[in-house]
Amino acid sequence: MDALMVFIGAAVGAPLRYLTDRLVQSRHESDFPYGTLTVNVVGCFVLGLLTGASSAWMPLLGTGLCGGLTTYSTFSYETVRLFECREYRFAALNAVVSVVVGVGAAWLGLQAG
């Protein structure tokens, strides 16, 4: 049953990631990956909230939804791409902000849960 819940959550999280990323990124002219940062921070907060509140929803919302919503691979790729394009400040900013704000969001979610 848990595997089905993970599947359902991921089936919602992945398209939500794509749509949110496109919506956020379309509002910025910069090469900075605001869309990926947004979905990752939101996912960190939601996972922290779930961890602090109840583990009963973890397969559906934690592993499935947050797993489909967040994306470490895209974050890594976009950071490397920024370095390759000699956008060193954006690359460093993306790495630092993603980690610091992501961990902060998870902590806030945990406190709220």
User: Per the annotation, where are the binding residues for Na(+)?
Assistant: 67, 70
Q: What is the dihedral of CA 88, 79, 38, 57, to 10 degrees?
A: -150
d(C-alpha 86, C-alpha 84), whole Å = 5
- Residues of the binding site: 67, 70
Q: What is the CA radius of gyration of the chain?
A: 15
Alpha-carbon gap, residue 59 to 76, rounded angstroms: 25
Give ∠ CA 20-98-5 in degrees, rounded to 5. Answer: 55
